[in-house]
Structure 1
Amino acid sequence: MKTIIYTENAPAPIGPYNQAVLKGDTLYISGQIPLNPATMELVADNIESETKQVMENLKAILEEAGMTFENVVKASIFIMDMNDFGKINTVYGSYFNEKTAPARETVQVACLPKNVNVEISMIAVR
């Protein structure tokens, strides 16, 4: 049995998927883009503000499932321009303890939903 996780503090799905699915003790969080959940408008001032919004969306979903970033075991970061890696990494890293940070990959892609510059998905375990 799986449990659908949903919070109004993260953007509503814009397709046939859920914000997250909890199966047993494992939480699978769908890729989050820099949408402000209150307005469903993109946060696109700069790559740092985009990344911060993505991380805040992920944080809201984790909290809805009774978890924190300490529960995250795997992250996938998709970016439009690898030249933004350092700036994204700085913001992303501020949400984790470096000694207990999750496994991760970062890949440059050709295009992301709504032409955003960054999307992050995560897997967390209780």
Structure 2
Amino acid sequence: MAGEIESIHTTHAAAPGGHYTQAVAHQGVLYVSGQLPVRADGSHSVDQPFEVQACIALDNLMAILSAAGRRPSDLLKVTVYVAGIEHWPAFDRIYARYLGEHRPARAVVPVPALHHGYLIEIEALAGSERTS
């Protein structure tokens, strides 16, 4: 594989709970691992409403983007897994608040269940690192 693979880690997002890293950068593309709504301090939010869980997962994504020198406007593709498609409208509203006018490609995938009983998981691809 040509080029270096750089692991990205920030203490401002949840630490990985398995054999993976928060994100990797390779040839100008940032690949962000699935982010559950686990707080940066490691505390769980599985008992919280969907809207709270969505904000925590998006906060993790934003922290990882920042640690990698990216901004929300660098997002190219976002994949969202939701346990229950009835959460789609609430997610769409919250997502729009986080991204403003930027509209990357996106898929919202309904799933029967997520790890630990969470209601949302978000993974993403972002473009080139900012130099300023």
Judge same fold: TM > 0.5, yes or no: yes
Other-structure match for 1:92? 95
Looking at structure 2, the residues matched to 31 and 54 of structure 1 have their Cα atoms a distance apart, in angstroms, of: 9
The 5 A counterparts of 1:69-108 are 69-98=72-101, 100-108=102-110
Looking at structure 1, the residues matched to 90 and 16 of structure 2 have their Cα atoms a distance apart, in angstroms, of: 26
For residue 54 of structure 2, give the secondary structure of its aligned residue in structure 1.
helix
Deviation track 1:54-100 (CA, whole Å, cap 9, x = no partner) reads 110000000000011100000000000001110111111111133x3
The 5 A counterparts of 1:32-51 are 32-38=35-41, 40-43=42-45, 44-51=47-54
- The alignment's TM-score, normalised by the length of structure 1, stands at 0.94
RMSD: 0.9
Looking at structure 2, the residues matched to 63 and 107 of structure 1 have their Cα atoms a distance apart, in angstroms, of: 25
For residue 95 of structure 1, give the secondary structure of its aligned residue in structure 2.
helix
Deviation track 1:4-50 (CA, whole Å, cap 9, x = no partner) reads 00001111100111000000210000010110111x12224211111
Other-structure match for 1:115? 117
Are residue 53 (structure 1) and residue 29 (structure 2) matched? no
Task: Report the more deviating stretch, 88-97 or 60-69.
Answer: 88-97
Looking at structure 2, the residues matched to 84 and 7 of structure 1 have their Cα atoms a distance apart, in angstroms, of: 28
AA at the equivalent of 1:105 = A
Looking at structure 1, the residues matched to 100 and 56 of structure 2 have their Cα atoms a distance apart, in angstroms, of: 19
Shift of 1:51: 0.4
**Structure possessing the higher radius of gyration over alpha carbons:** 2
Q: Which structure 2 segments of 5+ residues have no match?
A: none
Looking at structure 2, the residues matched to 92 and 47 of structure 1 have their Cα atoms a distance apart, in angstroms, of: 13
Other-structure match for 1:15? 18
Runs of 4+ in 1 over 4 A off after TM superposition: none
- The alignment's TM-score, normalised by the length of structure 2, stands at 0.90
